[in-house]
Copies of this chain bind each other. A is one copy, B any other.
């Protein structure tokens, strides 16, 4: 037994992020996930897409088998 965790090194939004403020987003993911906080990491729309930008996670919450992250977008990659 033990507690299942998933170590994540980037944010994959699947388009489910909610904008809270200007550059601040909230995203809920299934299960308990370990993300680096206060460190710039890549943001992608899907696992296989290119990086759409860079973000810093400001808050991580674990509850009821889900993980809620609040992140600040710090740079955007142009897509053309």
A residues with a Cβ closer than 8 A to B are: 1-9, 12, 32-34, 36-39, 41, 47, 58-63, 65
A54 and B62 CA atoms in complex are apart in Å by 20
Interface of A is mostly: strand
Contact (Cβ within 8 A) B59 A59:
no
Instruction: Quickly give the copy total for this chain.
Output: 4
A23 CB, nearest partner CB in chain B, Å: 17
List the B side residues contacting A61 at CB < 8 Å.
59-62
- Beyond A9-B9, A9-B41, A41-B9, whether A2 also contacts B36 by CB under 8 A is yes
- Max chain B C-beta neighbours (<10 A), residue from A6, A34, A59: A34
List the B side residues contacting A9 at CB < 8 Å.
2, 9, 36, 39, 41
